[in-house]
Structure 1
């Protein structure tokens, strides 16, 4: 099913979505949801658009809608994977230019809506200065907000994040006069977690990926060690509220053992 046949807003979908919503217990809703929106380019090509930028814009609009669904359910933290460090290197320059513009518009608009808190998760030093500025301003503008916490993963790579965390630990330890031998004895998973881009936040309970692809793509590698995963066949812009509610229902039905 795609945008040409149904957008999930018809009366039957609304009835079904409302029924799914009533089935969810507030206590079973995940605290932190991570979203890997995928399939924007395929969506644009299937609809005959000359540029994949149309797909990325539709995907960004869907993410605004997705955040509203999460807020409605009482989810506290949402992480959106918008642009990886690999994308910056490997994708066509025109596509990257379009993506940078779209992400900047999204970050700015989210920072002016409701009481949401926007945080950039990734490396600002590898981003174009204008995008880095917009992300920094969005984060500063919303730093005191108490509503939905929105992580925007831009210029992000999970392996790089772990390397940066270890570098930060070593630098901090060296500044305090400690030795590498001392650090080797003191190093713990909790210490590394504190120095990640998401330091101080709970790990994602649920990771959702659209377009049917089933891989992590270097997203929240450390944080997702005990996460549940849910893969949706719909391409990113075609994601419906009922697809989202099914993912939450599926999560609520799982028995999370955490190695026990």
Structure 2
């Protein structure tokens, strides 16, 4: 029950894995799994806002995902554009800000236009901030940060100043990372920011991830003793 939650993470990151396997288990095309996954995104965002989470980061498309069949890549991009345009009124009505992180090179013009529209129209929203990792790679983010530093002619960099060169330096590091589908790896996702993040893995495939499963992750999180290197 939600009433039993007493320690809510400020920032939850999610690797949304298992759409293709979910569809294959049902004899359906992988694209159908991605469509069901989009429905899960919506209910996950609603639940995050309901319990008081302030930031939620969703890994939607990695730089490695370009290696998938072109039909699947095209379907994912089209789904993203459709979702943004369809759900933008909902986001604004519920005071939800939408941000994107990742490299823009290679993305469709229609995707870039939808991203800009969403960020512009939700920039004053603040009750929940949703970050979408799109064409994203943790290694690429660090490399891009280093290249920015080289161009800036800064004489000295420490950990705090380094984060100023990341894609979204103003966003706090995740308290909790959830990965669905049973895989137990972080797959090149926000590598710098995950240094002290609590990790939670579930066998549930992303389209089946519901409020009950989210609660299980939150209950597990509130049982952790986060010492950050201290005794």
Do they fold alike, i.e. is TM over 0.5? yes
Distance in 2 between residues matched to 1:102 and 1:65, nearest whole Å: 16
Distance in 2 between residues matched to 1:204 and 1:53, nearest whole Å: 29
What residue is the counterpart of 1:166 in the other structure?
A: 146
What residue is the counterpart of 1:45 in the other structure?
A: 24
For residues 68-147 of structure 1, what are the structure 2 equivalents within 5 Å? 68-88=46-66, 90-113=67-90, 114-147=94-127
Distance in 2 between residues matched to 1:115 and 1:97, nearest whole Å: 30
Deviation at 1:237, TM superposition (A): 0.3
What residue is the counterpart of 1:24 in the other structure?
A: 5
Deviates more, 1:56-65 or 1:126-135: 126-135
What residue is the counterpart of 1:251 in the other structure?
A: 221
TM-score (norm 1): 0.85
Q: Cα deviations across residues 69-94 of structure 1 (Å, max 9, x unaligned)?
A: 10001000000000001102x11000
1:196 aligns with 2:166: yes
Deviation at 1:216, TM superposition (A): 0.6
Whether the 8 Å CA contact 2:9–2:53 is kept in 1: the answer is yes
Q: Cα deviations across residues 26-65 of structure 1 (Å, max 9, x unaligned)?
A: xx1000000111000000011111x211000100110110
Deviation at 1:129, TM superposition (A): 1.6
Distance in 1 between residues matched to 2:194 and 2:97, nearest whole Å: 22
Q: 1:139 to 1:227 in 2, by over 3 A?
A: same
CA radius of gyration, larger in = 1
Deviation at 1:235, TM superposition (A): 0.5
SS of alignment partner, residue 104 of structure 1 = helix
1:212 aligns with 2:192: no
TM-score (norm 2): 0.95
Whether the 8 Å CA contact 1:118–1:149 is kept in 2: the answer is yes
Q: How many residues align?
A: 227
Large movers: runs of 4+ above 4 Å? none
**Please, which runs of 5 or more residues in structure 1 have no aligned partner?**
1-19
